[in-house]
Chain A
Amino acid sequence: MAEPIITVKNLTKVYRVPERAPGLSASIRGLFKPKFQDVEAVTDINFTIRPGEMVGLIGPNGAGKTTTLKMLSGLLYPTGGEAKVSGYTPWDRKAEYLQRISMVMGNRSAMNWDIPPLDSFRVLSKIYKVPQDQYQRTLDELITLLDMEALLKKPVRNLSLGERMKCELVAGLLYQPDVLFLDEPTLGLDVAMQRRLRIFLKQYNQQHQVSVILTSHYMADVSALCERVMLIHHGRLIFDGALQELADKLAPFKLVKLQFTTPPTNLEGFLTQFPSVEYLPSENGHHILRIARSDVPKVTAEILSNLPVADLSVEDPPIEAVIDQIYEEGKV
């Protein structure tokens, strides 16, 4: 197995934030005698990431996802612990390190808004010392993959959010980094644009084997792109493994959707013989049953042989529902 490209050991970040009571008098007191509070944003997290791996870092707002990414990209000094990315300690901010990584943020722009993107790309290529022919090749490839030829000559200010995000991705990948930190890249985008960017990221990852850590609030991003997820809650890493494993662990049931040729007379009565089955309100003529995973074959066989079934499908519960459950309960 390849050596990990990212190794994180006991990484911790404590912010010192000013504490301000409401009211004018408290504000004036705070001016002369400020009070601070220590907030643990990230506590003792450990993980490794292999080259070319795409990992989703998920968690509710304020869980510590962005703080983790910022420490790994070298923007923040940790309070404790260590990390190595591509063999470098990120917060040393060595030029050789910064040349190998990229950070793209959905809520912040690296572009100059007054000029067309092509000019910003050119300046970035000079900053990263990308040879002219390589620059042209990479740019052409990214433009084709993102289908953005038409945007190149408009000032960034006049682009839509989705178009701007395409530019941000080009700016982040122009110098072909080994590691890409993506902080909510699809934030605020419409469904079609989210899908477009996901396809791009998947293709790019396959072609270039770039290692990616992705944070997103859209589970569709994570489930489409990442086989592995790390779940962070109150600054602690509470799960690290396959997304499916997380779903299985949290939702040990499946949803069975049924449609009948003629409505069964006593469906609920029939189901009482299976204690693990829960009957959910029907949706558009579909009857939905929640069944423990282990009982699914037995129950569906019984239903098929005893009831006038027109259609039957077995589904996993939506990942959003599973994740919501963890955010609420704070544990896996």
Chain B
Amino acid sequence: MQALRLIFEFFKVSTQAEMAHRANFFIRFLNAILNLATGVLSLTVIFNQVESIKGWDMPSAMALLGVYLLLAALRGLFIGPSLESVAGMDGEIWQGTFDFTLLRPVDKQFLVSFRHWRVLMLFDLCLALGVLGYAIHLMQAELTLLAVMGFIITLIAGAALLYAALLAFSALVFWNSGFLFTWIINDLFQLARYPVELYPGWLRLVLTWIIPVGLMTTIPAQALSGKLSWQWMILTLLFTIGALIGASWLFRQGLKKYTSASS
């Protein structure tokens, strides 16, 4: 309950702060539309030429794009801004204001993960839901209740995986305070726009098990199109739980290493 209350407060305050900069509003809107347009346009171009690529047809590729946009929106909505505020040259650790975060009587991982919201990313979230809705509309005939449930579960797992990956990379800042390590994930996450099957074998392995951006989007999209086996589903869930525990451990180790900036 306390956690929800705090998230609500953080959301409210972030909204107030964001509203102070009106220009952001238009830029964000433009960015969201552009992101959507390039995604949808490239899919239309490709599937005008071919029926399917490696088992992915237009509706399932559209579902994948929807999942990608949804996760990107979630990342932009709070995971990214919260975690990135800690790292980098203007980040809290470098500046020394992380002291105040450590002094709060609240779980530090929670505080670091939910503190900053970029409320305008709700645009992107709506557009992503629109794309998903369109994908579902395209595959309506073949959609089963089981597929929808599988989709919801794996989508949550995908979001949790993205969070774990960003948390783990953010935690590295405790070992080198000037670096913004999350850019590695941000760049690689672009690859999650497309099904992992499209990439060569070695890259597929990297994107599935090492920096699992492939698992984040491909698995939920497969679940929605009814192409996901239960073995893969369980494997994904176990992997997600492992990644969350691992990232949280790394973060806690980092906290112990924190030496605070000099006065």
Residues of A bordering B, CB below 8 Å = 15, 66, 70, 73-77, 93, 95-99, 101-103, 105, 107-110, 112, 114-115, 119-120, 122-123, 126-129, 155, 183-184
Contacts and interface: CB of A to CB of B under 8 A. Distances in A.
Nearest to B104: A127
Contact of B103 (A75, A114, A129): A75
Nearest to A181: B103
Interface stretch (B1-9, B153-161, B238-246): B1-9
Interface string B250-263: 00000010111011
B105 A95 contact: yes
Given A75-B260, A76-B259, A183-B263, A127 B106 contact: yes
Interface of B: 2, 5-6, 9-10, 13, 16-17, 20, 95-97, 99-100, 102-106, 256, 258-260, 262-263
Given A77-B256, A98-B105, A108 B97 contact: yes
A68 B95 CA distance: 20
Contacts of B258: 75
Contacts of A15: 259
A82 B181 CA distance: 35
Summarize B's interface: helix, strand, loop or mixed: helix
Contact of A110 (B17, B95, B100): B100
Contacts of A184: 263
B16 A126 contact: no
B99 A103 contact: yes
Given A95-B106, A126-B9, A127-B105, A75 B16 contact: no
A88 to B, nearest CB: 12
Nearest 7 pairs of A and B residues by beta carbon: A114-B17, A95-B105, A98-B105, A66-B263, A110-B100, A99-B105, A123-B9
Contacts of B262: 66
A125 B204 CA distance: 48
A118 B99 CA distance: 21
A185 to B, nearest CB: 13
A76 B99 CA distance: 10
Contact of B13 (A110, A115, A128): A115
A258 B102 CA distance: 56
A184 to B, nearest CB: 8
Nearest to B255: A93
17 contacts: A15-B259, A70-B99, A70-B260, A73-B103, A75-B102, A75-B260, A95-B106, A108-B96, A112-B17, A115-B17, A115-B20, A119-B13, A120-B13, A123-B10, A126-B5, A127-B106, A128-B104
Contact of A105 (B17, B99, B105): B99
A76 B260 contact: yes
A184 B263 CA distance: 10
Contacts of A75: 99, 102-103, 258, 260
Centre residue among B5, B13, B103, B260 by max chain A CB count within 10 A: B103
Given A73-B103, A75-B102, A108-B97, 16 more contacts: A15-B259, A70-B99, A93-B102, A96-B105, A98-B105, A101-B103, A102-B103, A103-B99, A114-B17, A115-B13, A115-B16, A119-B16, A126-B9, A128-B105, A155-B20, A184-B263
